[in-house]
A and B are shown apart, each in its own frame.
Chain A
Amino acid sequence: GAVVSQHPSRVICKSGTSVKIECRSLDFQATTMFWYRQFPKQSLMLMATSNEGSKATYEQGVEKDKFLINHASLTLSTLTVTSAHPEDSSFYICSAQLAGALNTGELFFGEGSRLTVL
């Protein structure tokens, strides 16, 4: 149980276009999801906390107009990279925690999405 799926796993786009990445909790409800960015040979950097039905909370230094996050349901959060540039190329990973009393402190991670901006 507790499976998180991301789509697409790989995407290549042209500079200036927007790209949407989906994160779904397949067999549980997730009131909170987290979006991370991972650079080569570096750690995961938390970008934002996504709460169902409310605005995302962004970490310092992350542009909220650049990285749009929507968490419209208990099983889906989306990250849209707007007007993408080559420096946005990275590995984006989402994670989710169980809702309410089922939350044991564990996070469940998606497989990640590799974005390449040409």
Chain B
Amino acid sequence: GNSVTQMEGPVTLSEEAFLTINCTYTATGYPSLFWYVQYPGEGLQLLLKATKADDKGSNKGFEATYRKETTSFHLEKGSVQVSDSAVYFCALSDRLYGNNRLAFGKGNQVVVIP
């Protein structure tokens, strides 16, 4: 079945550092790929998405490119801020019968230190 794998462990980095969170997926067909973010005490919200191979999703300085050849959708940001501290989830959409069933990775806690 469809699955998403995120790199293990929390990520701690200093303000203005470069952030990369790896995400690889296994899927049949042509899924859409997403990054969701969960700020402390809040629900998940969509950060960015890509619906087909080679698409680049971007938002709030974050970017991720849908790489079909490597089945990856790595999240990057060139210069993080303290306000980027959150949990980041990679997900893929299995649009079964028109419903957007999502398979999630385990999530990565990102802590940005001033």
A residues engaging B (CB < 8 A)? 4, 6, 32, 34, 36, 41-44, 46, 49, 51, 93, 95, 97, 103, 105-107, 109-112
Contacts and interface: CB of A to CB of B under 8 A. Distances in A.
A105 B32 contact: yes
A107 B102 contact: yes
Contacts of B49: 105-106
A31 to B, nearest CB: 9
A43 B42 contact: no
Interface in B59-114: 89, 93, 95, 98-107
B43 A34 contact: no
A4 B45 CA distance: 11
The 3 closest A-B pairs by CB, nearest first: A109-B44, A109-B43, A111-B43
Contacts of A103: 98, 100
A37 to B, nearest CB: 11
Interface of B: 32, 36, 41-46, 49, 51, 89, 93, 95, 98-107
Residue among B36, B43, B95 with max Cβ neighbours from chain A (10 Å): B43
B100 A44 contact: no
B102 A34 contact: yes
Contacts, number: 54
Given A43-B107, A44-B89, A93 B101 contact: no
Contacts of B42: 111
A10 to B, nearest CB: 12
A112 B43 contact: yes
Contacts of B89: 43-44
Contact of B100 (A4, A51, A97, A110): A97
A85 to B, nearest CB: 25
Contacts of A6: 43
Contact of A32 (B41, B46, B99, B103): B99
Given A6-B43, A32-B99, A106-B46, 7 more contacts: A34-B101, A43-B104, A46-B103, A51-B99, A106-B49, A110-B43, A111-B42
A49 B104 contact: no
29 contacts: A4-B43, A6-B43, A32-B99, A36-B104, A42-B106, A43-B105, A44-B44, A44-B89, A44-B102, A44-B104, A46-B101, A46-B103, A49-B99, A49-B101, A51-B99, A93-B43, A97-B99, A97-B100, A103-B98, A105-B32, A105-B49, A105-B51, A105-B95, A107-B46, A107-B100, A107-B102, A109-B45, A111-B41, A112-B43
